[in-house]
Structure 1
Amino acid sequence: MAAEQPPSSSSVYATNHTPAVLRTHQWRTASNSAPHLLPHLRPNMTILDVGCGPGTITVDLARNYVPDGSVTGIECVSDPLIAAREHAASQGVKNVEFLVGDVLDLHRFKDGSFDVVHAHQVLQHVSDPVQALREMRRVAKSPGGIISLRESASMTWHPRFPGLDKWYSIYQRVAKARGGNPDPGSHLLRVWVQEAGFDRSKMTSSTGTWCFRTEEERAWWSGVWMERVVSEAFVRGALEAGVCKGKEELEEVREAWREWGMCEGGWFVVEHGEVVCWT
């Protein structure tokens, strides 16, 4: 069956929801991916989780942070929502639902429907992030509604394998070729928020990191990227963007990920920019 998708999906995602991609996203929790939001939550709040993917952050929020409220997760395609619903059921979490929806057109939700609208690593994959923010603000309650955002800002690692430098260049160039904005958390996120009309006096900014450095963490992180860089979607995107000559070049990148994963003392850091806005 073809994936359900709105006719005007905003997504310019440079890959798809392969098992390796889902494993990457399923590692995410509210504590490791939305720490900037958690102090502002109350048990009875309603939350819209935009770009929820396989729902691990969504379910964590519903179970542990708003147990007397509810969380709605939306994703632009239905594929990852199968895993999201299965995860919620396995955890016995009932105050959560998952729907197909496009952040550029949240027409199914009335103005002021949610106490909180949350998006993690979403705006970088959206064709019009400013319009997305306007829609997110529209469906947040006013006054006092919260919009919580987190986007990658940079990535760095040790040792500096040339193959990983090539991977990062390909990753960014493919995203830009598809109309995305890779790593906007360093500067673009605050620009977009202001262009969307949020009051600068009613927002806070912070940074956060993921760091993969133990033997187990390196094995997991390198393993998922060894799969992702030779996946059909990644190869196709790289070829269409003209940033590699063929899959053989990406096989070399895959081998660099393998070598990095086996390096004792190696580490990989993803830095994020975080913004919380109040309506």
Structure 2
Amino acid sequence: MTNKLESATYTHGHHASVIRAHSWRTAANSAGYLLPYLKSDMKILDIGCGAGTITVDLAKYVPQGHITGLDQAESILDQARALAKDTGVTNVDFVQGDANALEFPGNTFDVVVCHQVLQHVGEPTGILKEMRRVAKVGGFVAARESDYGSWVWYPAAEGLDNWRALYLNVARSNRGEPNAGRMIHAWARDAGFPKADIQCTSSSWCLSTKEAVADWSKGWAERTESADSSFAKSAVGGQFATAAEIAQVAVAWREWGQHEDAWISVPHGEIVCVKRD
């Protein structure tokens, strides 16, 4: 274990629109690739758990086991703990920590998983090494990451093209990699997993109903334009866009969301790695 702290900035931050969007995530829609590997008595570590919706849901798959959710932001963990209490899930706990320097002994967990985390960190390979260290021999390290360059929407919208270019610039200026989904298998190899021990899959979120599209477009409009949004602050502060340009992007999200045929696909790369030694 090192004493290294995260050097990248979380591009999304914890704006209300972000938390609302993340609350939609479940084990089924965000960790389905991992579910076949789970056994009822496993001990799991969920890194970057945020408000804990995936963590609490995963706990139901290991009723004789236990899951620990870890996040760098202590404030968001209060929401995760409240969710576990409200849903009556007791085989879960939440701790504050930095994934670059996990405060757990080696060979502690049957599964170490993260969702939409590696795209936001300065050294994803280093975090995968830490995940590998605290996983048990014979256990699994798993990750799922979006790939912003592969997002596809209909109808075509120049404003959303501008949003994507802006997002890529802002995320990379924060030392993240927004196209992480296509890279995580290579990062896993750099972290010490042989290619034969890395299972690669991909899956997508597809939003097409009126309600889902409305929530998605509203959320992205809000996190794009709100003065207290981390993304908006990074975009304007980093001189990637003016306030007027930010406002135009938010309008584009809203206009797209109102289209009768609006549809969007958000692809993810997924890995499950076996720790052999």
Are 2:127 and 1:137 equivalent residues in the alignment? no
* Deviation >2 Å, runs of 4+: 6-12
Q: What is the TM-score normalised by the length of structure 1?
A: 0.94
Are 2:5 and 1:8 equivalent residues in the alignment? yes
Give the aligned partner of residue 154 of structure 2.
158
Distance 1:30 1:170, change over 3 A: same
Tell me how large the CA RMSD over aligned residues is.
Answer: 1.3
What is the correspondence of 1:47-126 to structure 2 with a 5 Å cutoff? 47-63=44-60, 65-106=61-102, 108-126=103-121
Between 191-200 and 48-57, the greater mean CA deviation after superposition? 191-200
Are the aligned partners of 1:47 and 1:71 in contact in 2 as well (CA < 8 Å)?
yes
C-alpha separation in 2, matches of 1:52 and 1:10: 19
**Amino acid across the alignment from 2:96:** V
Deviation per residue, 1:148-170 (Å, 9 max, x gap) = 11111221101111111111111
Q: What is the TM-score normalised by the length of structure 2?
A: 0.94
C-alpha separation in 2, matches of 1:127 and 1:167: 23
Are 2:239 and 1:242 equivalent residues in the alignment? yes
- 1:272 CA drift (Å): 0.5
Distance 1:10 1:99, change over 3 A: farther
C-alpha separation in 2, matches of 1:67 and 1:219: 35
- 1:12 CA drift (Å): 2.3
Give the aligned partner of residue 32 of structure 1.
29
Total equivalences in the alignment: 269
Between 167-176 and 233-242, the greater mean CA deviation after superposition? 233-242
Give the aligned partner of residue 3 of structure 1.
none
Unaligned residue ranges in structure 1 (runs of 5+): 1-5
Q: Secondary structure at the match of 2:142?
A: strand
Are the aligned partners of 1:14 and 1:234 in contact in 2 as well (CA < 8 Å)?
yes
Are the aligned partners of 1:173 and 1:241 in contact in 2 as well (CA < 8 Å)?
no
Are the aligned partners of 1:15 and 1:237 in contact in 2 as well (CA < 8 Å)?
no
Deviation per residue, 1:113-170 (Å, 9 max, x gap) = 100000111001111111100000000001x110111111221101111111111111
Are 2:204 and 1:209 equivalent residues in the alignment? yes
Q: Secondary structure at the match of 1:175?
A: helix
Give the aligned partner of residue 22 of structure 1.
19
Q: Secondary structure at the match of 1:145?
A: strand
Are the aligned partners of 1:10 and 1:102 in contact in 2 as well (CA < 8 Å)?
no
Are the aligned partners of 2:146 and 2:179 in contact in 1 as well (CA < 8 Å)?
yes
